[in-house]
């Protein structure tokens, strides 16, 4: 029976355990370029002992960033600097992954600690947002986006493809497409945000078209032996849960047929008016249903910060990987903490030898 510290293989990539660090935006870039903050951040996380580290949402185009502080991969300068991050993650023993993204109508926003709202239109830092339809998200994100033309759609698909190529050249071995959280991909799939009347809107089949075509185009350039994954909100908690989940599973099946290797199961966040049942591991049964009905490996990143919850989710085959995000911000050595909590033999040796040797040899100075 697999557990949290079992190795995991997907395609030709083997993770040393089933602990993964999901994308967590830092909002510290300038012109989309990584800097010393990112290098220290990702190196520290990778040295903590997880099997996989996925770099934060990285914009495939300037207008695809959430904020002016978000990473980008729409030019070679950005990609070359990201090479340092991929190499540092790999040198620390983790697999380097990256999430490529387009924020759609949620773009052109202030950093979360500076308001987490749309930048005023007359602010020189602001830019025009785009989406399937000219419908604002609402709440603190009231700006009405420009409805995308077919040319816009084709351009953005090409941007995703170019981003995937740059990610590969930069040394990343795991690619995640961000189709979740009310950003562009999720906006196309949802009837809340997609009111188009052409071949990209209306029916479930049409609303699925953008993500399917984008995935197909990326799969053509991303090596078959490396994992191609996606993050997607399979449920909204908007009162239409069964309908949305059933449609989502059908879409995931279509993605799998076109080369998707794993799904990171999340919430849609397409509209602000929802009733999400926040709680420990609340998405575990949803993830397991997607895993079983779509026949695809899954992960999830919500509420698994307690080692026993993450381990149980793996043992019960609810998840194939446990995405541990905020707990790693609190404790970058979370895998060591989890190994001790779960009674792993030689727990300290999930860390690099310069730490593990001394931690294994002496009683912890912080122990009760």
pLDDT at 223: 98
Bridge partner list, 263: 230, 298
Cα angle 176, 136, 73 (rounded to 5 degrees) comes to: 30
pLDDT at 368 over 80: no
CA–CA dist 189, 58 (Å, integer): 21
Angle between helix 241-257 and helix 284-294 axes, rounded to 10 deg: 50
Bridge partner list, 2: none
pLDDT at 367 over 70: no
CA–CA dist 300, 290 (Å, integer): 11
Alpha helices in 62-132 (DSSP H): 76-91
What would the pLDDT profile of 54-109 be if each residue is shown by its tens digit?
999 999 999 999 999 999 999 999 999 999 999 999 999 999 999 999 999 999 99
Enclosing H/E stretch for 157:
helix 150-169
- Residue appearing with tokens 């019960």: 316
Cα angle 296, 298, 303 (rounded to 5 degrees) comes to: 160
pLDDT at 240: 96
Q: Which of 183, 200, 237, 336 is catalytic?
A: 183
Both tokens of residue 300? 């999830």
**Residue 290 near residue 304 (C-beta atoms within 8 A):** no
CA dist list (Å): 181 to 184, 192, 264, 265, 311: 9, 13, 12, 11, 26
Alpha-carbon 139 to chain mean position:
24
CA–CA dist 16, 22 (Å, integer): 16
pLDDT at 282 over 60: yes
What would the pLDDT profile of 171-216 be if each residue is shown by its tens digit?
999 999 999 999 999 999 999 999 999 999 999 999 999 999 999 9
| 355 a catalytic residue | no
Residues 6+ apart with CB under 8 A from 349: 356, 360
pLDDT at 363: 77
CA dist list (Å): 32 to 81, 117, 126, 256: 10, 19, 15, 31
CA–CA dist 11, 171 (Å, integer): 16
pLDDT at 31: 98
Enclosing H/E stretch for 170:
none
Nearest CA among 225, 233, 295 for reference residue 269: 233
What would the pLDDT profile of 260-277 be if each residue is shown by its tens digit?
999 999 999 999 999 999
Exposure b/e, 302-330, CB count within 10 A at least 16 = b: bbbbebeebbbbbeeebbbbbbbbebbee
pLDDT at 57: 98
No. of H helices and E strands in the chain?
11, 13
Confidence of residue 124 (pLDDT cuts 50, 70, 90): very high
Both tokens of residue 291? 């895993």
Residue range 243-263: average pLDDT?
98
Q: What is the CA radius of gyration of the chain?
A: 20
pLDDT at 349 over 90: yes
Both tokens of residue 176? 């995640």
Lowest-confidence range among 2-11, 119-128, 250-259, 355-364?
355-364
CA–CA dist 338, 141 (Å, integer): 38
What would the pLDDT profile of 150-171 be if each residue is shown by its tens digit?
999 999 999 999 999 999 999 9
């Amino acid at each position: 029976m697999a557990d949290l510290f079992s190795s995991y293989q997907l395609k030709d990539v083997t993770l040393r355990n089933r602990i993964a660090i999901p994308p967590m935006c830092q909002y510290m870039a300038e012109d989309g370029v990584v800097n010393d903050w990112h290098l220290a951040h990702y190196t520290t996380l990778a040295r903590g002992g997880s099997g996989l580290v996925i770099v934060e949402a990285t914009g495939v185009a300037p207008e695809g960033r959430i904020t002016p502080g978000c990473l980008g991969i729409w030019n070679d300068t950005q990609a070359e600097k990201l090479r340092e991050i991929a190499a540092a993650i790999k040198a620390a023993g983790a697999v380097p992954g990256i999430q490529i993204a387009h924020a759609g109508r949620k773009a052109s926003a202030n950093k979360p600690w500076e308001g987490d709202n749309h930048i005023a239109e007359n602010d020189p830092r602001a830019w025009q947002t785009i989406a399937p339809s000219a419908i604002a998200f609402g709440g603190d994100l009231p700006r009405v986006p420009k409805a995308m033309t077919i040319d816009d759609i084709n351009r953005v698909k090409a941007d995703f493809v170019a981003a995937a190529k740059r990610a590969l050249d930069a040394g990343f071995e795991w690619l995640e497409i961000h189709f979740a959280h009310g950003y562009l991909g999720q906006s196309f799939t949802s009837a809340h945000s997609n009111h188009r009347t052409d071949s990209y809107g209306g029916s479930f089949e049409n609303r699925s078209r953008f993500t399917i075509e984008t995935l197909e185009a990326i799969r053509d350039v991303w090596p078959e032996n490396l994992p191609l994954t996606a993050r997607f909100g399979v449920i909204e908690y908007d009162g239409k849960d069964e309908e949305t989940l059933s449609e989502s599973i059908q879409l995931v099946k279509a993605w799998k047929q076109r080369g998707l290797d794993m799904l990171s199961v999340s919430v849609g966040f397409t509209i602000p008016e929802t009733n999400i049942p926040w709680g420990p591991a609340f998405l575990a049964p949803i993830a397991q249903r997607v895993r079983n009905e779509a026949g695809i490996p899954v992960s999830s990143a919500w509420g698994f910060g307690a080692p026993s919850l993450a381990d149980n989710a793996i043992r019960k085959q609810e998840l194939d990987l446990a995405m541990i995000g905020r707990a790693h911000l609190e404790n970058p050595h979370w895998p060591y903490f989890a190994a001790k909590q779960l009674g792993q033999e030689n727990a300290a040796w999930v860390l690099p030898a310069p730490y593990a040797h001394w931690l294994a040899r002496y009683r912890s100075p912080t122990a009760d």
